[in-house]
Structure 1
Amino acid sequence: MLAPRSPIILSVFAKWVEAVAVFHNAAAVWATLPPVQKSRFMRFSRQQGPLSASSYGSKILNIPASNSLERILAVLDVFTEDRLEWTPEELMASLGYSRPTLYRYLKTLKESGLLVSASSGAFTLGPRVVEMDYLLRKSDPLALHGAEHLERLVARYRCTALLARWYGAKILCIDSRNSAEKPVTSYPRGRPMPLGRGAIGRSVLAFLSRRQQLPVVRSLLDELAAVGFGHGEAEVLEALKRVRRAGVAVAFGEVTPGVVGIAAPLFDGGESPMGSFGLTISGSLVNGEAIDAISDDVRKAAADLSRTLTLSKGK
C-alpha cells in the first residue's frame, strides 16, 4: 500500500496510524488488567458517559502511564469517603502496579506527608492534606470573595448558604454558613455533591456547553427521571433550558426530604460555570412567593460574585 503524498492527507494518515496503534495498545493493556481495575473503568464509564470515559480512560487504564507523576497521583485518587484506608495489596490489585513500583510511590507519598501508614499496615491520607486545605482556605478566591455573600444570605433567611466549585466531573462544597435552628445540609466542605439531584448540581449542569453537558446528562438519566426532572434525554435537555432561561435552579426535597434548594451558577470569566452559589431552607418556612424572592436574591448575589471573581482573575 502506497502512502498518500499530500501534506494534509499525510497528516490525516499519520493520525490514523497513531489511532490504530493506540487501539491495539489499549486492547493489549486491557487484556492484562486485573478484574478490579476493569470493573473500575466500566463503573466510571457508566457514571460519566462515553465521552468523559474516553477522556479519563488513559488515566484509569494507565495506558499512557509512562508519566510517573500521573501514576503516583492515581494512588491518591483511590481514596474516597467509602474507602478511607488501603493496604498495599489492595492498591496493587486496583492500580495494577508492581510491588517495587507501588512501594516506591508509597515511600514518596509518606515522606511528603500526603499518606501515613496505620498500625494495621493500611495507608490513609496524611497531615499534608490538612495543611494544604488550610492554605487553600486562605487563598481560594471563591471562598474569600464569597464569604460576605454567604453571610448576607443567612442573615436574611433561616437557611444554610453554600458555595460549591465545579471540579472535573464533581461539584464540591467549598464553604457554607448556617442560620437555621437545625441545619439540614448534609454536604460539608470537601464532600462531593450530587449532579443529578438538587439545585446546586443542576445550576451548573444547565450552563455547560452542549459538548460538556451531553455525556453527563446521559450518565444521569435514571437519577434525573427518579426526581421528576424529565424522562429521556430530550425532556431533560428541555428542562435544563428552562433552568438556564430562569438563571436559577430550584429543587424540592431531592437531596434532603422537606428541604428546598435554590442555586445559581458562578463564572470567573470563562464560558462555562466554575461553581454554584445557593441555599437550602426548610420547606415549612417558604411558599411560592418566598421562593421567588429568594431566587431573585440568589441570582443577584451569584451575578455580583461572578463579576468579582472575573475581575480578580484578570489582575
Structure 2
Amino acid sequence: MMERETGTTARVLMVLRAVAEMQPEPTMKALADRLNLPPSTMHRLLELLAEHGMVERDESTRTFRPAVEFFRIAALVVNRVSIRMLARPYLQAAARAVDESAYLCVYDANGGRMTFAATATCSHLLDYRVPLDTPFSLVTGASGRSILAWVDKVRQDEIIRSEIAAGELDQAARAQLEEALIEVRARGYAQTFGQRIKGAVGIFAPVFDAAGTVTGSLGFTVPEMRYQAALQQTLVSVALEQAAALSGVLGYTQEPDALKRAGDTT
C-alpha cells in the first residue's frame, strides 16, 4: 500500500510540474505523452488535482492549466523566500568551480540601479570585497551591463539619459555603451576590465525571472594580476551555467538565442 501511495505521489508531482511548465496549455493527451502515462491514469490524476483546486480544465480548448489553489500555495512560498537565499547554492558552486569570489547582483527596476546582494568568497588572500546593498550604476562594469543589455529598450534609454543628466556619462560614451550592450546580448554575458573597480576583471551573466524579465546577474570579480586569458572560457561557462540554473529556479524556462551560443567567446 505504501509503495502504491508513493508512486501516486510521484506521479501527481510530475503532472503538476508539467502543467506549470508546458506551453501552450496542454491537453490530457499531451500530458500523457510527455509523462509516458496511460490516458486512464492521466485522467485519474487530473481529476484528483482538480478536486483539490490545483488544476482546472478549459472546456473550450480541452486544455489544462494551474488553478487558484496552485497559485495560492506558490505565492506563499515565493513571499517567504528571497532571491538571496535561492542564489546561495549557485554562488557557492560558482566559487568552488574556479576559486574566485562570485556575486549575485539584483536589478532595481524602479531606481534604474543595481546592488550586490550576496556573495560566495574564494580562498585567495588577495581578493576584492564589493560592498553589499549599495546602489550602483548599470552603465559601468560587467555586473551592471549584463543587466542593462536585457532591460527593455524604452527603460534602457531612460536609464542612460538619467546617467547623462547626472554627469556619469556623456554623449560620446553613450554611443560606445550602446554598441557594447549590443555585443553583450550577442555573446550572452558581459566582461569588463577595471571599470567599476580598478585592477579588477568582471565577468557576469544575466538572471531572468518567470516572466522572462532580467532580474539581476551572477558572475565574478577577479583581480587582474590573477586573471589569465586561458581561464576566460571557464569563468564565462561557470557564470552562464549558474546564472541559468538560478533563472530556472526563479521559473524561467526559455533560453534566449544569445545564451544558447554564449559559450562562444570568439
- TM-score using structure 2 length: 0.58
Matching residue of 2:183:
242
Distance 1:172 1:153, change over 3 A: same
Is the CA contact (8 Å cut-off) linking 1:185 and 1:280 kept in structure 2?
Answer: no
| Alignment check: 8 A CA contact 1:252 1:259 kept | yes
Gap runs ≥5 in structure 2: 1-78, 254-266
Give the alignment's Cα RMSD to 1 decimal: 2.3
Match of 2:93 among 146, 152, 157: 152
- How many pairs are equivalent? 170
* SS at structure 1 position matched to 2:181: helix
Matched, 1:214 2:154: no
1:140-172 per-position Cα deviation (integer Å, ceiling 9, x unaligned): 341222111111121122322111211222212
Give the match for residue 78 of structure 1: none
User: How big is the shift at 1:238?
Assistant: 2.1
Pair 1:218–1:294, CA change in 2 (3 A): same
TM-score in terms of structure 1 length: 0.50
% identical equivalent positions: 26
The residue correspondences of 1:1-315 to structure 2 (distance < 5 A) are 139-167=80-108, 168-169=110-111, 170-179=113-122, 180-188=124-132, 190-221=133-164, 223=168, 231-310=172-251
Contact in 1 for aligned 2:208/2:250 (Cα 8 Å): yes
The alpha-carbon distance between structure 1 residues 185 and 224, as it changes in their structure 2 partners (threshold 3 A), is: farther
Whole-Å separation in 2 of the counterparts to 1:234 and 1:177: 35
Contact 2:139 2:177 in 1 (8 A): no
Distance 1:282 1:232 in 2: 25
Task: Judge conservation of contact 1:269–1:310 (CA < 8 Å) in 2.
Answer: yes
State how far apart, in whole Å, the 1-side matches of 2:233 and 2:212 are.
Answer: 26
3-state SS of paired residue (2:185): helix
Three-state SS of the structure 1 residue aligned to 2:106 is strand
How far does residue 311 in structure 1 lie from its aligned partner after superposition? 6.4
Contact 2:116 2:130 in 1 (8 A): no
Counterpart Cα distance in 1 of 2:102 and 2:211: 24
Higher relative contact order (CA 8 A, sep 6+): 2
Post-superposition, which runs of at least 4 consecutive aligned residues in structure 1 deviate over 6 A? none
Unaligned runs of 5+ in 1: 1-137
Structure 1 or 2: larger helix share?
Answer: 1
Q: Is the 8 A contact 1:187 1:193 kept in 2?
A: no
Q: Decide whether aligned partners of structure 1 residues 157 and 164 sit closer, same or farther in structure 2, where only a CA change above 3 A counts.
A: same
SS at match of 2:92: helix
Read off the aligned partner of 1:255 and give its amino acid letter.
R
